[in-house]
């Protein structure tokens, strides 16, 4: 299988080359040239364990990796998860389920893709005899998951940009307390969107990218999105038969990558009826799906910091399909968004999607309500998804992080702090971070000085 750019001006690449490249040279995002049809294949997958299911799914895309090698890389990716089911589906009542995506090494859903991506990078380094320098930007969980996927892996270095003072203290410690020589946590002045904008500019500099063997670890990397498709399929196959036809996956999201993964699975023939985009007070996606207008606003720091985003990168992949694969129109829309910060759709068809918005003032109350009603504790991001659940549908809420990562907010909501031994151990370790301005020049100078 080959992978093409949403903007249509880059050469198609193999899976491994698309993974290594990250952002397409024309500034677009990679997508499969053609999505596989899984409509006749998903029913027999119902009895597979998580790693087996992931292998069966990923083999449709990673066609340049030998079958047994891919099986090994996938199997290794999920060995460090602390639940036998990897992504357990928990029934709160007959109409409400929670898909727990926080049993990986960093207690957040990003581990599902990052652990696999780290193994793919390690395999590529060994196969090609080349080092790789991974560059990413994070609003919280992505950076920690990426770092822990590459800790100590030979031939790799990882540079993670994050907004200084705008991630939770424990999220920061997961990035800055590893003690690994190949990890560089870069605390920048500004917001996540500032970090992401710098990252896109850096990857657009082809000479710099090639010279320093850069690869992207954000959800602009296609492997991230594909790996996340798997937990939707895993959950779908574990729903009661009668619930599947009326199920709505409710997804906390800021960068649109998490919910895009489920929607792509639907396009591959898995009949998931509906998705709800759950945003915090940084609600660009809520506004898009309720008004048809994509308008960038200022980021408001919130209690759900991983969703503090106003430029949703994966929107471009969705746009590509919305525009019928017309890469020229994608280029025009993205140019308008970059220039004016806004694009108004004349006709925005999205019957599969609904959206909700949750303010900071509402989050503690929702956490307390879920605890009282179901005896279940959720983190601030997952709390956003519990706002206005549909009474007519079966809701499958994606629990994106452990509540133990946000003790201050949980204490405000229920009067007690959840703890996790992995996080408690971090409190005793020294923080190592590098403060930088959010400028392309400062970041590239640092990367060049420390690249392997």
| CA 393 – CA 273 distance, rounded (Å) | 10
The shares of helix, strand and coil residues in the chain, as percent rounded to the nearest 5, are 45, 15, 40
Phi and psi at 323, nearest 5°, equal: -95, 20
Distances (CA, A) of 433 to 177, 188, 193: 9, 10, 20
Catalytic residue among 34, 110, 405, 428: 110
Beta bridge mates, 395: 96, 248
For residue 143, what are its two tokens?
A: 């950076």
Judged on CB neighbours under 10 Å (0-12, 13-18, 19+), 59 is middle
Other beta carbons less than 10 A from residue 105's beta carbon: 19
* Secondary structure class of 348 (helix, strand, coil): coil
CB of 300 within 8 A of CB of 282? yes
Tell me which residue of 335, 336, 353, 355 sits closest to 344, measured CA to CA.
336
Residue 226 three-state SS: helix
Q: What are the distances in angstroms from CA 337 to CA 24, 82, 248, 253, 332? A: 18, 42, 30, 20, 9
- The three-class DSSP label of residue 274 is strand
Any catalytic annotation for residue 110?
yes
Point out the residues that are catalytic.
110
């Amino acid at each position: 299988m080959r992978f093409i750019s949403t903007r249509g001006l880059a050469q198609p690449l193999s899976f491994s080359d698309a993974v290594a490249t990250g952002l397409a040279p024309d500034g677009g995002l990679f997508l499969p040239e053609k999505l596989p049809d899984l409509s006749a294949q998903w029913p027999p997958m119902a009895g597979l364990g998580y790693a087996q299911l992931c292998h069966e799914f990923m083999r449709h895309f990673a066609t340049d990796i030998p079958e047994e090698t891919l099986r090994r890389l996938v199997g290794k990716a999920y060995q460090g998860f602390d639940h036998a089911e990897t992504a357990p589906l928990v029934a709160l009542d007959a109409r409400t389920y929670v898909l727990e995506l926080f049993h990986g090494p960093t207690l957040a859903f990003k581990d599902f893709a990052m652990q696999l991506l780290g193994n793919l990078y390690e395999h590529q380094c060994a196969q090609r005899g080349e080092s790789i320098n991974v560059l990413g930007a994070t609003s919280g969980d992505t950076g920690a998951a990426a770092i822990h996927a590459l800790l100590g892996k030979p031939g790799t270095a990882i540079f993670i940009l994050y907004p200084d003072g705008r991630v939770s203290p424990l999220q920061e410690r997961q990035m800055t307390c590893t003690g690994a020589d190949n990890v560089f946590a870069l605390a920048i002045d500004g917001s996540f969107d500032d970090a992401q904008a710098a990252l896109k500019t850096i990857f657009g500099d082809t000479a710099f990218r090639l010279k320093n063997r850069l690869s992207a670890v954000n959800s602009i990397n296609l492997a991230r999105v594909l790996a996340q498709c798997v937990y939707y399929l895993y959950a779908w196959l574990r729903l009661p038969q009668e619930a599947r036809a009326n199920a709505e996956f409710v997804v906390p999201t800021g960068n649109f990558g998490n919910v895009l993964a489920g929607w792509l699975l639907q396009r591959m023939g898995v009949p998931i009826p509906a998705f709800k985009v759950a945003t915090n007070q940084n609600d660009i996606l809520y506004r898009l799906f309720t008004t048809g207008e994509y308008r960038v606003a200022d980021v408001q720091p919130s209690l759900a910091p991983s969703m503090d985003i106003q430029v949703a990168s994966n929107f471009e992949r969705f746009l590509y399909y919305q525009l019928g694969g017309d890469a020229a129109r994608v280029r025009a829309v993205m140019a308008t968004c970059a220039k004016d910060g806004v694009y108004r759709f004349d006709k925005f068809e999205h019957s599969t999607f609904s959206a909700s918005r949750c303010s900071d003032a509402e989050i503690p109350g929702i956490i307390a309500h879920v605890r009282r009603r179901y005896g279940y504790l959720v983190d601030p991001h997952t709390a956003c998804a519990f706002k206005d659940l549909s009474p007519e549908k079966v809701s499958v809420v994606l629990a994106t992080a452990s509540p133990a990562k946000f003790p201050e907010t949980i204490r405000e909501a229920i009067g007690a702090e959840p703890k996790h031994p992995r996080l408690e151990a971090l409190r005793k370790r020294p923080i190592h971070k590098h403060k930088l301005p959010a400028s392309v020049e400062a970041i590239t100078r640092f990367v060049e000085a420390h690249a392997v």
